[in-house]
Amino acid sequence: MKVVHYDKPGPPEVLKIIERDVPQFNDYEVLINVKCAGVNRPDLIQREGNYPPPPKHSNILGLEVSGIIEKKGKKVKKFKIGDKVAALVDGGGYAEYCCANEKQTFMIPKNISFQEAAGIPECFFTSWSNLIDRGRLKKNQKVLIHGGTSGVGLASIQILQQFNTDIFVTVGNTEKVSFCKKIGIQNVINYKENDFFEYIKQKKDFDGLDIILDIVGGDYVMKNINLLKNDGKLINIGFQKGSNVELNLIKVMLKRLTITGSTLRIRDSDFKYNILKALSNYIFPHFENNKIKCYIDSVFKFKDVVKAHQRLYEGKHIGKVILNVGI
């Protein structure tokens, strides 16, 4: 089978297509004939040599796929050969065939294409896990999303809209501002033109944010802390602008803040299955009635994986970058 490979870490240009054996699946896994794969920030970090795959995980890039079940393990009960599925995988997505644990696999919602389905797992699993499980989101709260037009950002926005949340979003250009307003977000800040702290603080009747989900990360952490109300939560899931920051712990202590973060890849299949169950109950039905979407920025041919990584790296995308693997 064809897979994306690199001999040593480096820029997007190190990626190339080679031949490898089809992976062996265990009793609890399905073998997916991959149609599409999502391109995510962790893929770029792994390619650069800064995010090695956990033990026993595939060293092939790619954490989410859509496709058709080719074969299945003896103990797989939920699926049959020929089912159209998407999956959150433990690596191996940039390949014509990929193994997926049954607990991390789901039937593609009705009226959803393979391209759209490939953009669901990583972003919606991540968003739900952090906003709901870690952030303990409640209805009518105030939430700020840094990086609102990323895949995770747009998934998070749509989850928040189901909770009638007062949403604030930061983005990096006027096109992204327009897009966010088009999907119903009024408080959108172009951080390159305006100070998000001043914008939010001066809002009428503003009494603090309940949650901040920071997909970007950087040296503005104290602005985040100063915007949070008592018992607020700062959730960090990115470090594009650096992982080392200065922090005033007095503010954290006086306001009883929770500062947390997470990575999904290293969690076990049972943890991911619990997220999948929640998504299946509360989010996936909205894909079928078109109330929630997987917004796609661009789709690249498999042979153009270098261009796909370049597109994500430059940061101008709105929504998901997708690889057509078997289409």
The CATH code of the domain that includes 13 is: 3.90.180.10
Q: Could you tell me if 185 and 171 are in contact, meaning their C-beta atoms sit under 8 angstroms apart?
A: no
Q: Do 140 and 100 share a structural domain?
A: no
As a 3-state breakdown, the chain gives helix, strand, coil percent values, each rounded to 5, of 30, 25, 40
How far is the C-alpha of 264 from the C-alpha of 161, rounded, in Å?
23
pLDDT of residue 241: 67
Residue 85, phi then psi, degrees to nearest 5: -135, 165
Q: Do 129 and 90 share a structural domain?
A: no
Q: Do 87 and 184 share a structural domain?
A: no
Among 208, 226, 261, which residue terminates a domain? 261
How far is the C-alpha of 86 from the C-alpha of 36, rounded, in Å?
9
Q: Do 186 and 73 share a structural domain?
A: no
Q: Do 252 and 135 share a structural domain?
A: yes
pLDDT of residue 239: 74
- Among all chains, which residue has been given the structure tokens 């989900």? 213
CATH of residue 253's domain is 3.40.50.720
Q: Do 183 and 239 share a structural domain?
A: yes
Q: Do 133 and 244 share a structural domain?
A: yes
pLDDT of residue 62: 98
pLDDT of residue 242: 66
Query: Strand pairing partners for 143?
Result: 167, 211
Q: Do 151 and 251 share a structural domain?
A: yes
Among 261, 286, 307, which residue terminates a domain? 261
Residue 77 burial (10 A CB sphere; 0-12, 13-18, 19+): exposed
Q: Are strands 64-72 and 84-88 parallel, antiparallel or unpaired?
A: antiparallel
Distances (CA, A) of 260 to 130, 313, 320: 9, 25, 25
- What single-letter amino acid sits at 128? W
Q: Could you tell me if 326 and 33 are in contact, meaning their C-beta atoms sit under 8 angstroms apart?
A: yes
How far is the C-alpha of 18 from the C-alpha of 190, rounded, in Å?
41
Among 261, 276, 300, which residue terminates a domain? 261
Residue 34 burial (10 A CB sphere; 0-12, 13-18, 19+): buried
Q: Do 209 and 183 share a structural domain?
A: yes
Q: Do 80 and 92 share a structural domain?
A: yes
How far is the C-alpha of 30 from the C-alpha of 12, rounded, in Å?
30
Please give the model's pTM, rounded to 2 decimal places.
0.94
Residues 6+ apart with CB under 8 A from 204: none
Please, what are the averages of pLDDT over each run of 10 residues along the chain (327 residues)?
97 98 97 98 96 92 98 97 98 98 97 97 98 96 97 98 96 97 97 96 93 90 96 90 79 95 93 98 94 97 98 96 96
Q: Do 129 and 85 share a structural domain?
A: no
Tell me how many domains the chain contains: 2
Determine the structural domain holding residue 199 and report its residue range.
Answer: 124-261
Q: Do 134 and 94 share a structural domain?
A: no
